[in-house]
Amino acid sequence: MKTSLDRRRFVAQASISAILVISAMSLAADRGFYQLSLSSEFLWLCLASMAIIHLSVRPKWTEAGLLVAGTGLLCAVEFGWAGMSAKAECVFALLGLASLTIMGLRMVWSVRAAAKLWFWAFVPGLLFVGFGWITPPLLQYGQIAHPKVLDLYLYSFDCSLRFQPSFLVGLLFVKLPWLRVICYFFYLGLGVPIAAVYAGHLVRNQKAATPIMLALLYTGPIGGMFYSLFPALGPVHLFQQNFPLHPLSIEQARHLFLEALALPGYRNAIPSLHMGWVLLTWWYCRGLSKWTKAVVLAFVLFTVLATLGSGEHYLIDLIVAFPFCVLIQGLFAFSLKWNDRRRVLAVFGGLATVLAWLWALRTVPHFFWASPAIPWVLLVGTVAASIWAQNRLEKAVEVSDERTQSSENEPRSTLDGTFSASKLAHEA
């Protein structure tokens, strides 16, 4: 009986492995995948970031060598057998594809805890890349569902601050093109901090990593709901060739007639999900290495510059991202009960703040012009209140996690999925 079960298990493992390898090689030989890798910087950077998860789970030179060999094989398929021109972007995309394939194979052939750890490395990585692939079609649908945008309302609010942040940073990019290039790659490299933070928690404690993974994964779909409530594009789409050199004067902006405009482009301005993702990764850095925190902090700072200077966002988009992130963290703080007051405050306080901003920006835009102090007090208050609520939530989660870990003995920790890189290396 045991021999029969082992035989069936082996056949299943071999079949799944064949599917993984054939799928990877088929993608490498596919011209559509090749063109997508060339046209979408976000895709190949997102794929390449899978190597961070891979090598964090198994930080060995032999694993790095295996990854290089796998990438070389896929390059031979794409550039040799399929006859496509070798491009650096495609090599990075194939690096990520090879990493996902190897993680899948490790998951299939490992046993017990190691297999479970590889599962939580492979499947979320696959989902992150998959969500990146389906995002453009969803945004295109948003453009059809909401033919008009509310950019003038967001622009009016930014101007009520008595300066224009996006145009100011945009002018800085004109004067310092090297800064624009650096910020551009930080903007596109969003997958790097996401992968680094998730992998850092995964090798420390899989239980703690799961809600983080879900929070980062569902940030996109939940944020898309708010895009439908307040469709907007960004100042570069509103001003087009006049951005960033020819803004309106503050006095002109004060008397601007506010209306919805029919403009083409993705309706993904408020809240800024780029800001939301990097802010979440920064908040989730608790307990990780100084290097990881330094990298994530750099992404936060350069993303602020990139979102504004590129003209893809208004300052208010970034501010509303703060309560939005508090909402997301509260939704996925699974270690706390639903009626925990800190979790309730995070969820309902974050949601109420986001909705209040969207309502005020749309219905009472001239209120912000009554005094320069009004928009500034509201901005600072929103950020401060969000950080306060997030700190309370984070401390509550930390206490809850410590209690859970202290109540578990070592054998149960292994069964429940608490791992370390050293345990995995020993078992694998």
Per-position pLDDT tens, the chain of length 428: 557 777 888 888 899 999 999 999 999 999 988 888 887 777 788 889 999 999 999 999 999 999 999 999 999 999 999 888 988 889 999 999 999 999 999 999 998 888 999 999 999 988 888 877 777 777 788 888 899 999 999 999 999 999 999 999 999 999 999 999 999 999 989 999 999 999 999 998 888 899 999 999 999 989 989 999 999 999 999 999 999 999 999 999 999 999 999 999 999 999 999 999 999 999 999 889 999 999 999 999 999 999 999 999 999 999 999 999 999 999 999 999 999 999 999 999 999 999 999 999 999 999 999 999 999 999 999 999 999 999 999 999 988 877 776 766 455 444 444 444 445 444 44
Structure tokens of 322? 């703060």
Burial 210-238 (b: 16+ CB within 10 A, else e): bbbbbbbbebbebbbebbeebbbbbbbbb
Q: How far apart are CA 426 and CA 428, in angstroms?
A: 6
One DSSP character per residue, 157-199 reads: HHHHTTS-HHHHHHHHHHH-HHHHHHHHHHHHTTHHHHHHHHH
Helix (H, G, I), strand (E, B) or coil at 250: helix
Q: How far apart are CA 380 and CA 373, in angstroms?
A: 10
Q: How many CB atoms lie within 10 A of CB 339?
A: 7
Rounded to 5 degrees, φ, ψ at 284 are -90, 10
Terminal alpha carbon distance of the chain? 26
Q: How far apart are CA 350 and CA 355, in angstroms?
A: 9
Considering the entire predicted model, what is its pTM?
0.89
Q: How far apart are CA 389 and CA 376, in angstroms?
A: 20
Q: How far apart are CA 130 and CA 125, in angstroms?
A: 9
Burial class of 111 by CB neighbour count within 10 A (0 to 12, 13 to 18, 19+): exposed
Q: Which residues pair with 261 in a beta bridge?
A: 149
* 343 neighbors 393 (Cβ within 8 angstroms): yes
Q: How far apart are CA 365 and CA 348, in angstroms?
A: 24
One DSSP character per residue, 353-386 reads: HHHHHHHHHHH-GGGGGS-THHHHHHHHHHHHHH
Q: How far apart are CA 65 and CA 274, in angstroms?
A: 33
Q: What is the pLDDT of residue 2?
A: 57
Q: What is the pLDDT of residue 351?
A: 97
Q: How far apart are CA 131 and CA 136, in angstroms?
A: 9
Q: What is the pLDDT of residue 193?
A: 95
Measured in whole angstroms, how far is the alpha carbon of residue 267 from the centre of its chain? 18
Q: What is the pLDDT of residue 111?
A: 87
Residue with tokens 């899989």: 206
Q: What is the pLDDT of residue 3?
A: 73
Nearest alpha-carbon partner for 236 in 266, 213, 256, 196: 266
> What single DSSP character describes residue 417?
T
